[in-house]
């Protein structure tokens, strides 16, 4: 942070992305755009049953079809995998049992897609249909059906019970206690790009996979495990990425299958999922039922909070253990919660597996908490914005669940959206049908722990300077559209004093680039940024050493900017960057350096303490203004104001792009998006039926950047990819209440629910479903608070 | 299907396909392809002509990602059959720049960050080009209407609207876009 007194030459400018021209000209080659000589095409045969035993698979007919090269079944790939070491429960192709409609049972590589598909139809699979578990209640009560043979009991994948401080003591101190039940429906990422993967196994025994993945490093590890090849013989390349949002951060069966098919066929093999298959691949937002009990004093200070979550996990583990912990982790990092208890359970059901979607496990509890606080404020006669404002977590403190807080811009975020939206004049005063709502939130800037236990860096960067002044930066990070390649170029350019267009960025290629764990948990800018700074400063020191000698200026008076290295006190005195590079190469030999980043250790040592810690939390606040038609229940969102504590905007244009995209995605979840099933079959597996907002439904947005310069981030930067989605959903629900006086404690707040709630209110009844699944949580692990 | 019943899945494959020699005008060039008649324009562009700039998101005519222009009108290439389009002028994103100089829409999309993952971008550029040719200075509502058949999951649409407006202003003033 030494350079902060200087004006930045690159950081903070609204620059074009390094890959922008490739994307607007159609030149960027996404995974399905790749074609290799002799390439075959693959298709997978999938289960039509949500739960069944495989009695036999007969492939002779498919094998006999002209044009078919390989027919593969699960017996050829017996090793299980999964993204988390604790949930290695997936098979590439089901061996004995299918667990959801769409679970693959066989795969074919053929000369073209049509032949592969025809061959799939010739495969005879005999199933014994088993009873299927379709929801959390069934998972908890049907003792006779067990989807997996692991987990504490029945169909429970994971259960958690943690108590921080004495919650009962806190409730005893409260002036009032409130309880609410919420339901947050599942939704899916709906990336515009269908997942595609191309595997190529060469006669040299080396395997290359190009895939639309957010996590090439984890795919690399899974391939080595399942295919039993040395990791050093496998290369995974994340192709330019057509939308992720968390949906391409698992290891997928089709990625491993095309590699195996290529090994058996001796030819490259490509697969591209159909849109329907993408809906079934899923790994999206968990449907979560929640119960929340909070004790407060008269001025809205929280004395204790007890939270329960019930997650419908779908058929496999995926990131589910982390998702479950995340539903209970971040309640404490916004407003002060001195005593806190969290109980949660994730169950298996016979539906496509859920996983991480933008905000991973935190939008559901954040929505519940912010609506709950809105109700508490009303009960106490307090302004909901002011009540939140009064009880913020202090900066540089430690929460009751042992999370370390850095800078906190939440107060300023709340103030700014209140001011810009005209909140004070509007809240509670707008005419019937017209309302305004507010909410705050927080999110991690990168998970504190990697997915598999290891002591190595989370992010690595190599930089090379050539004698022509060209700079190449190599990093395993994966640009999924958020601009992470550009961030590498901006940071390296800033540190070396050149322009981003002078830099060649090479990323997401396990043969060429040092490991970065992937584009998940909003970690990339903070971690790769810090690693880049470290690498670039090593090189800058070499450049400054030769420049200092050449110019006769002390080393620490030098500055690099705009392709020159010069004397800060006499900027006319300097040498071009290229000249410094030549002098430095002559002095030191080939110019190259590495940098790496590992997040600070979390404070907590209790089981589950690995989920929640981060180098720094981002904060956001949203105000939503909308109209509700009381006759039809239709909602028109007029405007969304979103203020975000970004720490420092490395490129404000890209930050605002992430905010606008998150607001949009949040409105989709709040108002219409549903990943729902009937007897295990997706009700809406197409882009027409699965409603998402179009140009016409997306309102005006105002993005406000708050910069708190957090010491943990590069130049003070925090995340923006995910956290900004969080406050928008509860702000919508709070605005609906302000508009028409009914609480929709459920997402999406679709027109039918609003009409039903208004009708119930007219008849003096209470609408909604306040019932909770019955589960006995284990005795809590009691964790004593630490002093901050 | 009731539990504990046995089911066998087995469906017959399709029969032989009929192929034809088709002459297409694509990005100002005449191209000939010999393809099954049911092959879509999207597939022929991507697989037979190697024009992979045109993307696909659903292959069912629902998302707008595969939009190309036929005689200046936006068409969903996943629903169009080349055999019906012989000698019509087809324009794809690869034909948008002229002699390497990007179209003002392309420059504006790049400058304003209207392409995040960039996957929906070619289709939206084509739909926007068609709009600006019919209506050089559309209002924001007119842009929304014209592009409402194109989904984007990254941008929240705002930067796209701003980019179309910027391109429209520059084109109306006949102003060259700055080199990005």
Q: In this structure, what CATH number is given to the domain that contains residue B120?
A: 1.10.150.120
- One domain, residues B23 and B88: yes
- One domain, residues A202 and A254: yes
- pLDDT score, position A732: 98
- One domain, residues A297 and A182: yes
Q: In chain B, what residues touch A665 (CB-CB under 8 Å)?
A: 153, 156
Under an 8 A CB cutoff, do A20 and B10 touch? no
Q: How far is B180 from chain A (nearest CA, A)?
A: 7
In a domain, A610, yes or no: yes
A60 touches chain B (CB under 8 A): no
- pLDDT score, position A1: 40
**Closest Cβ–Cβ partner in A35, A114, A242 for B117:** A242
d(CA A36, CA A139): 46
d(CA A242, CA A702): 26
Collapsing DSSP states into helix, strand and coil, what is residue A742?
A: coil
- One domain, residues B57 and B118: no
- One domain, residues A306 and A415: yes
Under an 8 A CB cutoff, do B55 and A243 touch? no
- One domain, residues A574 and A497: yes
The answer to whether A559 and A566 are in contact (CB under 8 A) is yes
Provide, for chain B, the percentages of residues in helix, strand and coil under a 3-state DSSP scheme, each rounded to the nearest 5. 35, 20, 50
The answer to whether A70 and A265 are in contact (CB under 8 A) is yes
Count of Cβ atoms closer than 10 Å to residue A206 Cβ? 15
d(CA A439, CA A745): 15
Bridge partners (DSSP) of residue A378 are none
Cβ neighbours for B141, distance < 8 A, ≥ 6 positions apart: none
In a domain, A389, yes or no: yes
d(CA A246, CA A322): 13
In a domain, B7, yes or no: no
Q: Is A128 exposed, middle or buried (0-12, 13-18, 19+ CB in 10 A)?
A: middle
Give φ, ψ of A360 to 5 degrees: 20, 90
- pLDDT score, position A786: 73
**Closest Cβ–Cβ partner in A126, A194, A687 for B151:** A687
A241 touches chain B (CB under 8 A): yes
- pLDDT score, position A2: 43
Q: How far is B167 from chain A (nearest CA, A)?
A: 13
Under an 8 A CB cutoff, do B151 and A692 touch? yes
d(CA B151, CA B149): 7
Count of Cβ atoms closer than 10 Å to residue A769 Cβ? 10
Structure tokens at A466: 């050539």
Q: How far is A415 from chain B (nearest CA, A)?
A: 24
Q: Residues 28..57 of B with a Cβ closer than 8 Å to A: which?
A: 46, 50-57
Q: Cis omega before residue A748 (within 30°)? A: yes
B1 touches chain A (CB under 8 A): yes
Q: How far is B13 from chain A (nearest CA, A)?
A: 5
- One domain, residues A436 and A310: yes
In a domain, B1, yes or no: no
d(CA B72, CA B131): 9
b (16+ CB within 10 A) / e for A429-468: ebeeebbbbbbbbbbbbbbbbbbeeeeebbbbbbbbbbee
Q: In chain B, what residues touch A483 (CB-CB under 8 Å)?
A: 113, 116
Give φ, ψ of A467 to 5 degrees: -75, -10
| Domain limit, last residue, from A281, A306, A328 | A281
- One domain, residues B56 and B123: no
- pLDDT score, position A650: 98
B9 touches chain A (CB under 8 A): yes
Longest dimension (CA), chain B: 72
- One domain, residues B151 and B91: no
Give φ, ψ of A295 to 5 degrees: -100, 135
At CA B153, angle to CA B150 and CA B155, rounded to 5?
Answer: 95
What total of structural domains would you count in chain B?
A: 2
Q: In chain B, what residues touch A129 (CB-CB under 8 Å)?
A: 1-7
d(CA A629, CA A775): 39
Q: Which residue of A has its CA nearest to B118?
A: A23
Cβ neighbours for A473, distance < 8 A, ≥ 6 positions apart: A461, A462, A463, A464, A488, A489, A492, A503, A504, A505, A506, A532, A535
Residue A279 is inside which H or E element, if any? helix A275-281
Q: Which residue of B has its CA nearest to A118?
A: B13
Q: In chain B, what residues touch A242 (CB-CB under 8 Å)?
A: 55, 117-119
d(CA A616, CA A402): 13
- One domain, residues B87 and B26: yes
In a domain, A214, yes or no: yes
Q: How far is B26 from chain A (nearest CA, A)?
A: 15
B120 touches chain A (CB under 8 A): yes
Q: Which residue of A has its CA nearest to B52?
A: A33
In a domain, A215, yes or no: yes
- One domain, residues B135 and B156: yes
A670 touches chain B (CB under 8 A): no
Under an 8 A CB cutoff, do B53 and A48 touch? no
Among A486-490, B3-7, B41-45, the minimum mean pLDDT is found in B3-7
Q: In chain B, what residues touch A52 (CB-CB under 8 Å)?
A: 7
**Closest Cβ–Cβ partner in A660, A663, A688 for B62:** A688
- Closest by CA position to A325, among listed A202, A459, A161: A161
- pLDDT score, position A3: 46
- One domain, residues A520 and A573: yes
Q: Residues 91..130 of A with a Cβ closer than 8 Å to B: which?
A: 114, 118-119, 121-130
Residue B7: pLDDT over 70: no
Count of Cβ atoms closer than 10 Å to residue A511 Cβ? 12
- One domain, residues A692 and A746: yes
Q: Give me the residue label for tokens 């913020």.
A: A392
Under an 8 A CB cutoff, do B148 and A695 touch? yes
Q: In chain B, what residues touch A16 (CB-CB under 8 Å)?
A: 110-111, 113, 180
Residue A68 is inside which H or E element, if any? strand A68-73
pLDDT < 50 positions in chain A: 1-5, 788
Bridge partners (DSSP) of residue A704 are A643
Tell me A516's DSSP state.
B
Domain containing residue B33: CATH number: 3.10.20.30
Residue B17: pLDDT over 90: no
Q: What CA dihedral angle connects A499, A500, A503 and A505, to 10 degrees?
A: 170
Q: Give me the residue label for tokens 């997915």.
A: A451
- pLDDT score, position B6: 63
Q: How far is A99 from chain B (nearest CA, A)?
A: 13
- pLDDT score, position B168: 98
**Closest Cβ–Cβ partner in A16, A21, A192 for B151:** A192
Residue B158 is inside which H or E element, if any? helix B158-172
Q: In chain A, what residues touch B54 (CB-CB under 8 Å)?
A: 26
- Which ranges of B3-149 does DSSP label H, i.e. alpha helix? 41-43, 104-112, 121-134, 140-147
- Which ranges of A436-507 does DSSP label H, i.e. alpha helix? 484-496
In a domain, A485, yes or no: yes
| Domain limit, last residue, from B68, B95, B122 | B95
Q: Residues 254..293 of A with a Cβ closer than 8 Å to B: which?
A: 274-275
- pLDDT score, position A438: 98
Residue B75 belongs to what domain range? 19-95
Under an 8 A CB cutoff, do A129 and B96 touch? no
In a domain, A3, yes or no: no
- Closest by CA position to A370, among listed A399, A342, A330: A330
**Closest Cβ–Cβ partner in B1, B55, B152 for A49:** B1
- One domain, residues A75 and A117: yes
Count of Cβ atoms closer than 10 Å to residue A322 Cβ? 26
Q: In chain B, what residues touch A243 (CB-CB under 8 Å)?
A: 117, 119, 153-154
Collapsing DSSP states into helix, strand and coil, what is residue A450?
A: coil
B139 touches chain A (CB under 8 A): no
Residue B166: pLDDT over 80: yes
- Closest by CA position to A720, among listed A671, A661, A640, A639: A661
Residue A231 belongs to what domain range? 40-130+192-243+248-281
- One domain, residues A333 and A393: yes
- One domain, residues A533 and A571: yes
Question: What tens digit of pLDDT does each residue of B66-87 get?
Answer: 999 999 999 999 999 999 999 9
Pairing type for strands A176-184 and A288-296 reads antiparallel
Q: Is A562 exposed, middle or buried (0-12, 13-18, 19+ CB in 10 A)?
A: middle
Q: Residues 85..114 of B with a Cβ closer than 8 Å to A: which?
A: 92-94, 96-97, 102, 105-107, 109-113
Structure tokens at A783: 């964790």
- One domain, residues A64 and A211: yes
d(CA A530, CA A344): 35
Domain containing residue A387: CATH number: 3.30.365.10
The answer to whether B163 and A16 are in contact (CB under 8 A) is no
In a domain, B177, yes or no: no
């Amino acid at each position: 942070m030494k350079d902060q007194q200087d004006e930045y030459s690159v950081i903070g400018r609204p620059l074009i992305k390094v890959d922008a021209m490739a994307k607007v000209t159609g030149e960027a080659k996404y995974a399905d755009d790749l074609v290799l000589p002799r390439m075959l095409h693959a298709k997978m045969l999938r289960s039509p049953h949500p739960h069944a035993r495989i009695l036999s698979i007969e492939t002779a007919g498919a094998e006999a079809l002209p044009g078919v090269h390989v027919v593969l079944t699960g017996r050829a790939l017996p090793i299980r995998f999964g993204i988390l070491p604790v949930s290695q429960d997936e098979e590439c192709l089901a061996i004995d049992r299918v667990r959801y409609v769409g679970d693959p049972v066989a795969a074919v590589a053929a000369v073209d897609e049509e032949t592969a598909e025809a061959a799939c139809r010739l495969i005879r699979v005999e199933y014994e249909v088993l009873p299927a578990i379709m929801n959390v209640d069934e998972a908890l009560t049907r003792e006779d059906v067990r989807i997996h043979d692991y987990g504490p009991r029945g169909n429970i994948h994971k259960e958690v019970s943690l108590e921080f401080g004495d919650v009962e003591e806190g409730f005893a101190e409260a002036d009032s206690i409130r309880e609410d039940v919420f339901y947050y429906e599942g939704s899916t990422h709906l990336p515009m790009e269908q997942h595609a993967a191309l595997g190529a196994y060469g006669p040299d025994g080396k395997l290359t996979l190009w895939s639309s993945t957010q996590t090439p490093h984890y795919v690399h590890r899974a391939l080595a495990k399942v295919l039993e090849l040395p990791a050093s013989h496998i290369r995974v390349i994340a192709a330019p990425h057509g939308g992720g949002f968390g949906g391409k951060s698992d290891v997928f069966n089709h990625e491993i299958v095309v590699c195996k098919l290529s090994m058996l066929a001796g030819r490259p093999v490509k697969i591209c999922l159909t849109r329907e298959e993408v809906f079934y691949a899923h790994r999206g937002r968990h449907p979560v039922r929640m119960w929340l009990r909070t004790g407060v004093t008269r001025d809205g200070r929280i004395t204790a909070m007890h939270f329960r979550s019930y997650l419908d996990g779908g058929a496999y583990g995926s990131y589910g253990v982390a998702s479950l912990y995340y539903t209970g982790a971040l309640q404490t990092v916004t407003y002060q919660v001195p005593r806190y208890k969290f109980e949660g359970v994730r169950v298996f059901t016979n539906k496509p597996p859920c996983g991480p979607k933008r905000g991973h496990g935190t939008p559901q509890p954040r929505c519940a908490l912010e609506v709950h606080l809105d109700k508490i404020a009303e009960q106490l006669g307090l302004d909901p914005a002011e009540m939140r404002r009064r009880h913020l977590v202090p900066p540089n403190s430690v929460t009751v669940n042992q999370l370390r807080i850095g800078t906190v811009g939440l107060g300023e975020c709340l103030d700014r959206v209140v001011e810009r939206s005209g909140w004070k004049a509007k809240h509670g005063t707008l005419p019937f049908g017209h309302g305004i709502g507010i909410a705050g939130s927080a999110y991690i800037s990168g998970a504190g722990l990697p997915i598999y236990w290891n002591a190595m860096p989370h992010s690595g960067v190599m930089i090379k300077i050539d004698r022509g002044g060209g700079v190449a930066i190599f990093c395993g990070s994966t640009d999924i559209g958020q601009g992470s390649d550009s961030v590498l170029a901006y940071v390296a350019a800033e540190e070396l004093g050149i322009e981003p267009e002078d830099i060649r960025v090479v990323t997401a290629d396990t043969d060429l680039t040092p490991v970065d764990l992937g584009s998940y948990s909003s970690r990339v800018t903070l971690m790769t940024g810090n690693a880049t700074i470290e690498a670039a400063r090593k090189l800058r020191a070499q450049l400054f050493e030769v420049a200092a000698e050449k110019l006769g200026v002390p080393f620490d008076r030098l500055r690099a900017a705009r392709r020159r290295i010069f004397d800060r006190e006499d900027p006319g005195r300097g040498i071009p960057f290229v000249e410094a590079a030549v002098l430095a190469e002559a002095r030191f030999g080939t110019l190259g350096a590495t940098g790496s980043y590992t997040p600070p250790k979390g404070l907590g040592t209790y089981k589950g303490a690995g989920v929640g810690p981060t180098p720094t939390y981002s904060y956001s606040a949203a105000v939503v203004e909308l109209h509700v038609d009381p006759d039809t229940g239709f909602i028109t969102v007029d405007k969304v104001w979103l203020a975000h504590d970004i720490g420092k905007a490395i490129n404000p244009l890209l930050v605002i792009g992430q905010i606008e995209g998150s607001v949009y995605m949040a409105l989709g979840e709040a108002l219409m998006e549903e990943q729902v099933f009937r007897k295990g079959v997706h009700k809406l597996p197409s882009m027409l039926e699965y409603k998402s907002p179009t140009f016409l439904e997306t309102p005006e947005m105002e993005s406000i950047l708050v910069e708190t310069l957090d010491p943990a981030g590069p130049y003070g930067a925090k995340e923006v990819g995910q956290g900004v989605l969080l406050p928008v959903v509860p702000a919508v629900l709070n605005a609906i209440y302000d508009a028409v006086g009914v609480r929709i404690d459920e997402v999406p707040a679709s027109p039918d629910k609003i009409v039903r709630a208004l009708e119930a209110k007219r008849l003096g009844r209470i609408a909604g479903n306040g019932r909770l699944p019955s589960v006995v949580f284990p005795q809590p692990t009691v964790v004593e608070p630490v002093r901050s | 299907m009731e539990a504990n019943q046995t089911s066998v899945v087995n469906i017959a494959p399709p029969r032989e396909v009929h192929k034809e020699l088709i002459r297409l005008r694509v990005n100002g060039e005449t191209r000939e392809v010999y393809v099954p008649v049911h092959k879509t324009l999207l597939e022929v562009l991507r697989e037979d002509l190697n024009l992979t700039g045109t993307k696909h998101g659903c292959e069912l005519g629902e998302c707008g990602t595969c939009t190309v222009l036929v005689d200046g009108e936006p068409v969903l290439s996943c629903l169009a059959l080349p055999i019906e389009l012989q000698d019509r002028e087809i324009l794809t994103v690869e034909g948008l720049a002229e002699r390497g100089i990007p179209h003002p829409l392309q420059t504006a999309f790049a400058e304003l960050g209207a392409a995040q993952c960039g996957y929906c971008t070619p289709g939206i550029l084509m739909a926007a080009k068609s709009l600006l040719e019919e209506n050089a200075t559309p209002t924001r509502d007119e842009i929304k209407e014209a592009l409402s058949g194109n989904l984007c999951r990254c941008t929240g649409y705002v930067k796209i609207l701003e980019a179309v407006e910027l391109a429209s202003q520059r084109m109306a003033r006949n102003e060259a876009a700055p080199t990005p």
